[in-house]
């Protein structure tokens, strides 16, 4: 039905419609959804150390709207309720009374490196997924929102700028309606004005932020590191004996000092996070 609808809207006679036409129409649809945002990127020639660059981004609320409205994805209400029942049963802190009918969302960050004879390239990528939507091919369930060559990253300030936009977009999915203002209470574009305040088919809630240790270290800029003495970001365990052998991370006994001092959320903020430029997804 989706393919027939695309063909009918194209104005191309069915007997003349080719896979090339379909590819071009699909590309055009995707191109309509791509936005441009300004982010700080590293610039050694600039006295400030950076300059502002326009980069493409796909906002989560536009991805989700396309998947549910245009593609026609449907998730059984029983699966949504089962997810939240399981989360409640294990005491997940993000569960509340309003969560039960929200579709869960996940964020995933990772970097990929390509080494050639000419040069080494590495990209930082941010992805969106729906944890309870699991098609046979994983690639159909991961939606790229933004990527950037790591050589352009101006520390964590680049990703913080991107996360400010993503948080704004994800908050609109939580509220269930298209946003009425841009981040910083700035006015919408003309196309966004047409959608402002209109509801989505569902409301959503972020329940996961996944990635390897390198990604989380970069994202949150916490003090611990696999390369340092303090190796754990959830407790004060160390990799070198500083006078208390039971603080060594490989001491796995029940009475080890570090296992009795696991950080609460407040401890993590106070002892691990920097005092400024904290991640905008908080």
Q: Quick one: CA dihedral 196, 202, 207, 208, positive or negative? A: negative
Paired residues of 105 in beta bridges: 206
Two tokens, residue 254: 């029940």
Residues 112, 149: Cα–Cα separation, whole Å: 10
Gap between the Cα atoms of 197 and 179, Å rounded: 6
pLDDT average per 10 residues of sequence, the chain (282 residues): 44 47 48 84 94 95 92 92 94 88 94 83 92 85 91 90 95 95 90 91 94 86 84 84 80 82 87 74 46
Tokens of 56: 């493409």
In this structure, the dihedral spanned by the alpha carbons of residues 268, 272, 277 and 281, taken in order and rounded to 10 degrees, is -40
In whole angstroms, give the CA distance from residue 203 to residue 128: 15
What integer pLDDT is reported at residue 5 of this predicted model?
47
pTM of the full predicted structure?
0.80
Q: What is the 3-state secondary structure (H, E, C) of 152-196?
A: HECCCHHHHHHHHHHHHHHHHHHHCECCCCEHHHECCCHHHHHHC
User: Which pLDDT score is estimated for 275?
Assistant: 78
As given in the structure block, the two tokens for residue 101 are 């009918």
Kindly provide the b/e burial profile for residues 209-248, where b requires at least 16 CB atoms within 10 angstroms of the residue's own CB. eebeeebbbbbbbbebeeeeebbbbebbbbbeeeeeeebb
**Cα–Cα nearest to 55, from 37, 67, 68:** 37
Phi, psi of 112 (to 5 degrees): -125, 135
Q: List the alpha helices (DSSP H) in the chain.
A: 2-10, 19-33, 60-65, 77-89, 157-175, 190-195, 213-220, 265-272
Residue boundaries of the structural domains of the chain: 28-218, 221-282
Sheet holding 143-149, edge to edge: 143-149, 120-129, 103-115, 204-211
Task: Please say whether the beta carbons of 224 and 233 come within 8 A.
Answer: yes
Structural element, H or E, at residue 125: strand 120-129
Cα-Cα-Cα-Cα dihedral sign, residues 173, 168, 210, 207: negative
Structure tokens at 208: 């996961």
State the residue for tokens 């029940």: 254
The token pair that represents 182 in the structure block: 């841009």
Q: What is the pLDDT of residue 87?
A: 94
Place of tokens 């949504």: 80
């Amino acid at each position: 039905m989706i393919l027939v609808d695309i063909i009918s809207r194209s104005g191309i006679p069915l007997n003349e419609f080719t896979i090339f036409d379909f590819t071009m129409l699909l590309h055009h649809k995707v191109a309509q959804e791509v936005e441009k945002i300004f982010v700080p990127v590293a610039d050694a020639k600039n006295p400030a150390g950076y300059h502002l660059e326009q980069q493409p981004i796909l906002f989560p609320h536009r991805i989700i709207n396309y998947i549910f409205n245009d593609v026609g994805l449907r998730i059984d209400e029983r699966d949504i309720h089962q997810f939240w029942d399981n989360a409640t049963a294990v005491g997940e802190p993000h569960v509340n009374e309003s969560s039960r009918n929200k579709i869960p969302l996940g964020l995933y960050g990772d970097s990929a490196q390509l080494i050639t004879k000419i040069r080494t390239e590495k990209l930082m990528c941010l992805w969106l997924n729906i944890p309870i939507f699991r098609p046979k091919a994983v690639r159909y369930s991961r939606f790229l929102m933004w990527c950037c060559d790591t050589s352009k990253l101006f520390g964590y300030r680049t990703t913080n700028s991107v996360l400010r936009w993503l948080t704004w977009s994800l908050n609109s999915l939580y509220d269930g309606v298209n946003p009425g203002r841009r981040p910083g209470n700035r006015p919408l574009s003309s196309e966004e004005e047409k959608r402002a305040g209109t509801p989505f088919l569902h409301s959503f809630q972020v329940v996961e932020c996944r990635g390897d240790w390198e990604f989380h270290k970069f994202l949150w800029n916490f003090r611990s590191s696999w390369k340092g003495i303090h190796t754990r970001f959830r407790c004060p365990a160390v990799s070198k004996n500083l006078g208390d052998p039971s603080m060594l991370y490989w001491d796995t006994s029940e009475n080890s000092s570090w296992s009795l001092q696991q950080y609460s959320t407040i401890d993590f903020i106070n002892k691990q996070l920097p005092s400024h430029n904290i991640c905008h997804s908080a």
